[in-house]
Amino acid sequence: MANERYAVYDGKDAAKVLVPAEQSAVVQVRRRQRLLPFYWVALLGDLAVTKTAAALSLLRRYGVAGAVVCYKGARYLLRRFFASFRNETRQFFSDARELFRGLRILHAGARHNKNNRGAVLLRAYRTYLGRSFKEKNDFWKTLGRACLPLASLILVAVCVGRLKTTTAALEVRLGDNIVGYAADETVVRSAMEDLETILPQNRAAVTELLGDTPTYQLSRVPLTALSGSAQLCETMLENAKTPLVHACGIFIDGEFLCAVRNESDAVAAFSALIEPVKEKAQPGRSVAFVETIDYVQGLYPDDPETLWDPVALKRTLRAPKQAAQYYTVESGDTIARIKEATGETAATLRARNPGVDFEHLTAGQKLLVSPQTAYVRIKEMAYRKYRSTVPFETVRRESETLRAGTTKLVQAGKNGEQETTEMITYLGGERIGSAIVAVRTIEPAVPQIIVVGTGSPYQGYGESGGSRNTGWLWPTVGAYSLSSGFGYRSRRISGRSFHGGVDIVKPGGHSTGTPVIAAAAGRVVEAHNGYRGYGHTVVIDHGNGLQTRYAHMKAGSITVRVGQTVAQGQQLGQIGSTGNVTGPHLHFEVLKNGTQVNPMNYIG
């Protein structure tokens, strides 16, 4: 059996296969050198482009005859191409059938060898395929060129399908555990915010409960693996380091104290503190806690430090939060040294030790630095009502119908009345503060309305005169309106009269105290504290027969004396209402050789 051979013929001289029992099969096949079918496809495209360009060139060069020649040539080439393509395709499939027939013959021959059948079959396949690669090289090249594009298309389709079903995401980890995948960073932040809501303690406590701070890195995951903020939050809670339970947290002024199983237990503990104070409070007073107490439902660590029973809560609330702290005076201590040692101000130390003489301290004496504090304090609030006067406001309105410098009372003001409710707060029997909680108007205040004149200051038959470039200054600073001009004017009492100067006032009133200055340099020839109807008056001689008079000035405001030389713009006094006047103003005159002339010719 060892030397037994099996010869199998396929009925044609194309192939003969000898299968020895322990040797590799020898397959003889004839060679065929043929062009590849896929080469002809490329050749067809090249011919089509090349011949089309040539046909167009011939058509331009030789006309219709050239086009006919090209057409016949192209038709001949196409026939040759399809004939060659058909023959090569037949040859390819013929070679393929021959290859698979040989493989079947090898497999059938190996079945007769019962000893070491697998190794014999493997060696036969290897030898047969090796000979086939050498002798049918064109077939294998054609097969490879056909399969490689197909494999590339399949690979591209797989990649595109994977890209459509996957996405870039953040892989969220809590320690070594993956808690989920987030689409972006906002989902992680939202999950942490949800955690802080569910776990009402501070952020440090949340990190401590989770055992670590969540971290994340970029990863590519299926779309179905993405987690929302709620799912991330739930998964992080499941992976928390400390067991959590639903409970009611107690916060005093925003600071976490503890948690109890039921909110009713927390309310009962605080009610036990305040109810006795309410019973002893004076009539009309309300009682409340000084601190703000909040009850917050959520998840809290299931440990004795956080989760208290009601008895422990009541015991803690009745005990002091911080005991009173004292400072023992040493020999040579002063208030400055004690202030530096305790960190308190001198005023605070004196207020907390009212009976102590800080100038004569003795060694061993104890000073209260900070009083005992409780977790919660109870305050009493009393309400007091009282009435008060509301002063009226003064409203000023301008009117062109009144001349400048005059005012008119249109509506007299009247004070109003209101009722105020004040809340007074007491702590430990001492008043610590008050606040206005309500104001009710009993009678509204009536405003005082005054009309201020802004109209022309001229009145009567006075002439304004023209201005000349004399270099003189306006005789006042801030008062530039004329309430009466130079010349004849009419009055209700005295009738028509001559006005030998101009009256200058401040727009809107309040002329009293306005500075009066010298219109030009000169020498003071008169300085009266009361002169006929002019009141307090100053007269300055400027030479060349010119003099100026400044009348009705404020009593005691004259700053010059007779014989003094004054410069232009030097202050002489202030506007007043001395002498024969109806209101504060400056009466300004210019005298030329003793005769009154229009001042506007010099200062206009």
- 184-238 per-position pLDDT tens digit: 888 888 888 777 776 766 555 666 666 667 787 888 888 877 888 888 877 777 7
Structure confidence at residue 318 (pLDDT): 87
Query: What's the chain's average pLDDT?
Result: 78
Backbone angles phi, psi at 515, to 5 degrees: -60, 140
Q: How wide is the angle at C-alpha 448 spanned by C-alphas 442 and 449, nearest 5°?
A: 135
**Mean pLDDT across 539-545:** 94
Calpha distance 274→547 (Å, rounded): 90
Q: Where are the beta strands (DSSP E) in 428-521?
A: 430-443, 448-455, 461-463, 481-484, 486-491, 495-499, 502-505, 515-517
Please state which of the ranges 88-102, 237-251, 335-349 shows the lowest mean pLDDT.
88-102
Structure confidence at residue 205 (pLDDT): 62
Structure confidence at residue 229 (pLDDT): 80
Residue 446's pLDDT band, with cuts at 50, 70 and 90, is very high
Residue 147 resides in a domain:
no
| Contacts of 192 by beta carbon, 8 Å cutoff, 6+ apart | 206, 214
Q: With a cut of 60, say whether residue 168 has pLDDT above it.
A: yes
**Mean pLDDT across 517-540:** 89
Structure confidence at residue 404 (pLDDT): 56
**Nearest Cα to Cα of residue 306 among 240, 379, 387, 242:** 242
Q: Which of 415, 433, 452 is the last residue of a domain?
A: 452
Q: Which of 248, 281, 302 is the last residue of a domain?
A: 248
**Nearest Cα to Cα of residue 514 among 564, 546, 478, 490:** 478
Structure confidence at residue 186 (pLDDT): 85
- As to burial, measured by CB atoms within 10 angstroms (0-12 exposed, 13-18 middle, 19+ buried), residue 299 is buried
Higher model confidence: residue 33 or residue 497? 497
Residue 142 resides in a domain:
no
Q: What is the CATH number of the domain that holds 590?
A: 2.70.70.10
Torsion of CA 204, 208, 210, 216, to 10 degrees: 60
Q: What is the tens place of the pLDDT at every residue in 171-186?
A: 888 777 787 888 888 8
Which strand (E) or helix (H) includes residue 395?
strand 394-403
Given a contact cutoff of 8 angstroms between Cβ atoms, the answer to whether 598 and 486 are in contact is yes
Give the residues across from 219 on adjacent strands: 169
Given a contact cutoff of 8 angstroms between Cβ atoms, the answer to whether 600 and 500 are in contact is no
Per the structure, the complete domain to which residue 338 belongs is given by: 325-371
Given a contact cutoff of 8 angstroms between Cβ atoms, the answer to whether 139 and 92 are in contact is yes
Calpha distance 416→372 (Å, rounded): 48
Q: Sign of dihedral through CA atoms 194, 195, 201, 203?
A: negative
Q: Is the pTM of this model over 0.75?
A: no
In a shared domain, residues 243 and 254? no
In a shared domain, residues 114 and 180? no
Higher model confidence: residue 493 or residue 598? 598
Structure confidence at residue 5 (pLDDT): 40
Terminal Cα distance for the chain, rounded: 151
In a shared domain, residues 406 and 432? yes
Measured in whole angstroms, the distance separating CA 16 from the mean position of its chain's CA atoms is 89
**CB half-sphere exposure, 384, CA atoms < 13 A:** 7
**Mean pLDDT across 584-590:** 94
Is 269 strand, coil or helix?
Answer: helix
Range with top average pLDDT, 117-121, 229-233, 559-563: 559-563
Structure confidence at residue 501 (pLDDT): 92
In a shared domain, residues 584 and 480? yes
In a shared domain, residues 209 and 271? no
**Mean pLDDT across 510-526:** 92
Q: Please give the tally of structural domains in the chain.
A: 6
Q: With a cut of 70, say whether residue 26 has pLDDT above it.
A: no
Range with top average pLDDT, 128-137, 400-409, 457-466, 520-529: 520-529
Residue 40's pLDDT band, with cuts at 50, 70 and 90, is very low
Structure confidence at residue 110 (pLDDT): 64
Calpha distance 402→407 (Å, rounded): 8
Given a contact cutoff of 8 angstroms between Cβ atoms, the answer to whether 407 and 451 are in contact is yes
Percent of the residues in the chain that have a pLDDT greater than 70, as a whole number: 78
Q: Where are the beta strands (DSSP E) in 262-304?
A: 286-289, 293-301
Residue 434 resides in a domain:
yes
In a shared domain, residues 417 and 290? no
The token pair that represents 242 in the structure block: 């400390």
In a shared domain, residues 176 and 189? yes
Higher model confidence: residue 105 or residue 455? 105
Pairing type for strands 394-403 and 448-455 reads: parallel
Structure confidence at residue 545 (pLDDT): 93
Residue 2 is given by DSSP the state T
In a shared domain, residues 574 and 501? yes
Residue 152 resides in a domain:
no
The CA-based diameter of the chain, rounded to the nearest angstrom, is 170
Residue 146 resides in a domain:
no
Q: With a cut of 60, say whether residue 18 has pLDDT above it.
A: no
Calpha distance 246→261 (Å, rounded): 7
**Mean pLDDT across 573-579:** 92
**Mean pLDDT across 9-27:** 37
Higher model confidence: residue 578 or residue 198? 578
Higher model confidence: residue 87 or residue 418? 418
Backbone angles phi, psi at 455, to 5 degrees: -80, -175
Q: With a cut of 90, say whether residue 576 has pLDDT above it.
A: yes
Q: With a cut of 70, say whether residue 458 has pLDDT above it.
A: no
In a shared domain, residues 29 and 125? yes
Residue 495's pLDDT band, with cuts at 50, 70 and 90, is low
Structure confidence at residue 331 (pLDDT): 85
Instruction: Report CA-CA distances (Å) from 449 to 392, 409, 508, 549, 566.
Output: 10, 6, 14, 37, 44
In a shared domain, residues 186 and 234? yes
Is 106 strand, coil or helix?
Answer: helix
Residue 145 resides in a domain:
no
Residue 130 resides in a domain:
yes
Structure confidence at residue 421 (pLDDT): 93
Q: What is the tens place of the pLDDT at every residue in 268-284?
A: 999 998 998 888 888 88
In a shared domain, residues 438 and 467? no
The token pair that represents 529 in the structure block: 């504290």
Is 9 strand, coil or helix?
Answer: strand
Q: What is the tens place of the pLDDT at every residue in 66-94?
A: 566 666 777 777 787 777 777 777 777 77
Give the residues across from 441 on adjacent strands: 418
Q: Which of 228, 248, 268 is the last residue of a domain?
A: 248
Residue 154 resides in a domain:
no
In a shared domain, residues 436 and 536? no
Alpha helix locations (H) across 136-245?
Answer: 137-165, 185-198, 203-210, 229-238
Residue 513 is given by DSSP the state T
Q: How wide is the angle at C-alpha 580 spanned by C-alphas 578 and 582, nearest 5°?
A: 90
Q: What is the tens place of the pLDDT at every residue in 139-163?
A: 777 777 667 777 888 888 887 777 7
